[in-house]
Amino acid sequence: MNTTGDKLLNRIPLPERMRPKTLEDYVGQDHLVGQGSVLRKMIESDTLPSFILWGPPGVGKTTLAKIIANKLERPFYILSAISAGVKDVREIIEKSRSNSLFNRAKPILFIDEIHRFSKSQQDALLGAVEDGTLILIGATTENPSFEVITPLLSRCQVCVLKSLDVEALDLLLVRAIKTDPVLRKNEIEISEKEALFRFSGGDARKLLNILEILVSGQKEGEKIVIDNKYVTEKLQENIAIYDKNGEQHYDIISAFIKSIRGSDPNAAVYWMARMIAGGEDPLFIARRMVILASEDIGLANPNALLLASACFDAVHKIGMPESRIILSEVAVFLATSLKSNSSYLAIDAALEEVEKSGDLPVPLHLRNAPTKLMQELGYAKDYKYAHSYSNNFVDQEFLPKELNDKKFYEPGDNSKENEIKKRLESLWKKYDY
């Protein structure tokens, strides 16, 4: 029979029961908090700046903030940007200033979803962050360059957190089964993990929620065998939980992107409607279209990027339900546009070359020569100023000599890039266009 303590423990969700308390127990983000990392050194030396944790859901942003505050033994305040206002911010700042008279340790203010803070709310933080009244740790799933005001962003470091990889997810899974007092009441055998990891999508919280669903309703002491089929069937029974943020979320956005890439406006607006009806963040849809405009349309229609960027800005300002019209207009425009991935392929080819050949020296004639010594060393010597020549062009080498005649950009087969190809052919005889 369950004791009162067991009943209370059962009411605490598994992700909360498994929340790490120390950096040693924290899983993932070794680039930030692994041994020898910059943030780890700052924590251990107690020289912590204000910073923003940017990453997808369920990768440990809140957990990391709590661990840091606990390790440094600092007063710790938490605000949710969804419910807090300027008044709440000012109250915490005043508390921090009062406490500083008796406690030398600067308090830590953690703001979850800081991207939802209005400009006035963010402005209210500026002075306290600047004069060191408190240390701000913000958490966001959105690019802080877009969502955090420049004065505040300039006073904070940005730490990028990554989705958890299979190795990290596996460690969490094994740890939960072996150490959680509730899960240990059953004999749990994991025969297949692919579906577990696929549905979790690199999200630790989601993985643990899925695991809790899989064992719920089982008799204590009963053996539970978890395989791909069992995971899929169980989650289909709980599809309301995993509709927006689970596998369907990724499948539908994939179908949406592929429909636009495949030039089918009807399928594009259908999958968009599915996302909107399911409560998807309209900014997520707009952001994906900005990426697609460059990746899949590119130079075939450069206006695509302009329109997609304007869409993101408009959706940010207008909000739903009116934004559905803006999103639909741009989706149809992108779907019916000519397509080209030439720029995407060009940068990947160039990055591959950089990885292979390393930091090749800049040719002397392309270097800047602001001093007499640099001029004497041959910097900028024999550089030909293109505007001094016919058609504003002169044949000269712009790549390192080791990459002479190397071609990264291959024009796509569309009317716009056919024009680009003809121009390049007339200018560059050394390249085979």
Same domain, 284 and 191: no
Q: Residue 356: inside a domain, yes or no?
A: no
In a shared domain, residues 171 and 202: yes
Residue pair 226/190 in contact by the 8 Å Cβ criterion: yes
| Confidence class for position 307, pLDDT limits 50, 70, 90 | very high
Residue 59 sits in the same domain as residue 150: yes
pLDDT given at position 240: 44
Q: If 0-12 CB within 10 Å is exposed, 13-18 middle and 19+ buried, where does residue 319 land?
A: exposed
Domain membership of residue 2 (yes or no) is: no
Q: Which of 185, 210, 241 is the last residue of a domain?
A: 241
Tell me which of 106 and 326 has the higher pLDDT: 326
The reply to whether 47 falls in a domain is yes
| Average pLDDT estimate for 389-395 | 87
pTM: 0.56
| Same domain, residue pair 229 and 260 | no
319 and 409 belong to one structural domain = no
CATH label of the domain that carries residue 326: 1.20.272.10
For 60, phi then psi, to 5°, come to 105, 25
Please state the domain count of the chain.
4
Task: Assign 286 a pLDDT band (cuts: 50, 70, 90).
Answer: very high
- Regarding whether 251 and 234 lie in a shared domain, the answer is no
**220 pLDDT more than 60:** yes
- The one-letter code for the residue type at 148 is V
Ranges 7-11, 21-25, 404-408: which has the least confidence:
7-11
What span, in angstroms and rounded, lies between the C-alpha atoms of 214 and 237?
Answer: 11
Look up the domain containing 377 and give its range: 361-427
User: Residues 418, 419, 422, 428: is their CA dihedral positive or negative?
Assistant: negative
Please determine, for residue 246, whether its predicted confidence score (pLDDT) is greater than 50. no
Per-range mean pLDDT, top range of 95-109, 331-345, 417-431:
331-345
**Tens of pLDDT along 15-44?**
889 898 888 889 888 888 888 888 888 888
pLDDT of 241 higher than 50? no
102 plus 47 within the same structural domain? yes
Residues 183 and 121 in one domain: no
Alpha carbons 280 and 276: distance in angstroms, whole number: 5
* Domain presence at residue 149: yes
pLDDT value at position 185? Answer: 85
3-state class of 350 per DSSP? helix
Examine the fold and report which residue of 125, 160, 195 is the final residue of a domain before the chain moves on: 160
pLDDT at 110: 92
In this prediction, residue 248 carries a pLDDT of 59
Kindly report which listed range (116-120, 173-177, 267-271, 422-426) carries the lowest average pLDDT score.
Answer: 116-120
Q: DSSP H helical segments within 238-364, as ranges?
A: 239-242, 247-261, 265-277, 282-292, 303-318, 323-336, 342-357
**Which of 12-21, 97-106, 140-149, 354-363 is least confident?**
97-106
Domain harbouring 116, CATH code: 3.40.50.300
| Residue where a domain stops, chosen among 241, 261, 290 | 241
* 313 and 376 in a common domain: no
Q: Which two tokens stand for residue 230?
A: 């069992």
pLDDT of residue 123: 85
Residue 311 binned pLDDT confidence (cut-offs 50, 70, 90): very high
Mean pLDDT of the 49-72 span: 89
Q: How far apart are CA 337 and CA 301, in angstroms?
A: 7
253 contacts 292 by C-beta, under 8 angstroms: no
Does residue 100 sit in the same domain as residue 192?
no
Q: At what angle do helices 323-336 and 247-261 cross, to 10 degrees?
A: 50
Q: Which tokens in the block code for residue 118?
A: 């209005």
Residues 80 and 127 in one domain: yes
Q: Dump pLDDT digits (tens) for 344-377.
A: 999 999 999 988 888 888 888 888 877 777 777 7
Burial group, residue 112, by CB count within 10 angstroms (0-12, 13-18, 19+) = buried
Among candidate residues 124, 204, 23, the one with its CA nearest the CA of residue 109? 124
Residues 138 and 65 in one domain: yes
CB 255 within 8 Å of CB 331: no
Average per-residue pLDDT in the chain?
Answer: 85
